């Protein structure tokens, strides 16, 4: 019986020890970066919640390091905010981790870089300042082939009429 009580007490202590870090993590700071996907030149809003002291954010491939300033609080939670511009040198198609830090802890939030202003899928660059897109390009080629064939027929008939 004593062995059962001792093992039950040991299990209870182990469960409390396992739950303590999770409870402490829930009380730590939270970080956000919105939007989660941006193009070079876009702005991203960074937020830190629950940091009593100054907070910073860093992403060398996107914007460098910034200090977050006071923001609007949500209830009892302190908020710090910074708005950054994604650098024009940020490589599209790459996911960057924004590293946050403050007196209450650290964290990372991913931000993906996408390319904007690129030609739409199916676009053909013509080299004349514009482009031919979609089903219109197929029609343009078909019309060009018909006009060429018509011209060939006219030329051949003229040559046979002259002989």
Using one digit for the tens of pLDDT, what is the confidence trace for 2-36?
544 444 444 343 443 444 333 444 577 899 999 98
The pLDDT tens digits of the residues spanning 32-90 come to: 999 989 888 889 999 999 888 889 999 988 888 999 888 766 555 678 999 999 888 88
Per-residue confidence at 98, pLDDT binned at 50, 70, 90?
very high
When divided into structural domains, the chain yields a total of 2
Rounded to an integer, what is the distance from CA 56 to the centroid of its chain?
20
Helices and strands per DSSP (H, E), number in the chain: 2, 10
Give domain status of residue 15, yes or no: no
CB 62 within 8 A of CB 43: no
Dump pLDDT digits (tens) for 113-156. 988 765 555 555 555 555 555 556 667 777 778 888 888 888 88
> Is 88 a member of any domain?
yes
**Which domain, by its residues, includes 42?**
28-113
**pLDDT reported for residue 152:** 82
d(CA 28, CA 26): 6
Determine, yes or no, domain membership for 108.
yes
Residue 92 sits in the same domain as residue 149: no
pTM flag (> 0.75): no
- Res 104: pLDDT: 79
């Amino acid at each position: 019986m004593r062995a059962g009580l001792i093992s039950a007490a040991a299990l209870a202590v182990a469960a409390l020890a396992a739950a303590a870090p999770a409870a402490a993590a829930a009380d730590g700071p939270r970080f956000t970066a919105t939007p989660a996907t941006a193009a070079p030149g876009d702005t991203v809003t960074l937020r830190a919640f629950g940091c009593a002291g100054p907070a910073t954010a860093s992403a060398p491939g996107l914007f460098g390091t910034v200090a977050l300033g006071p923001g609007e609080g949500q209830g009892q939670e302190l908020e710090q905010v910074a708005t950054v511009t994604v650098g024009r040198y940020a490589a599209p198609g790459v996911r960057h981790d924004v590293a946050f830090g403050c007196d209450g802890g650290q964290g990372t939030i991913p931000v993906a870089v996408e390319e904007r202003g690129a030609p739409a899928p199916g676009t053909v660059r013509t080299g004349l300042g514009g482009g031919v897109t979609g089903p219109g390009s197929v029609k343009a080629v078909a019309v060009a082939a018909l006009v060429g064939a018509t011209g060939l027929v006219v030329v051949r008939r003229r040559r046979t009429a002259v002989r």
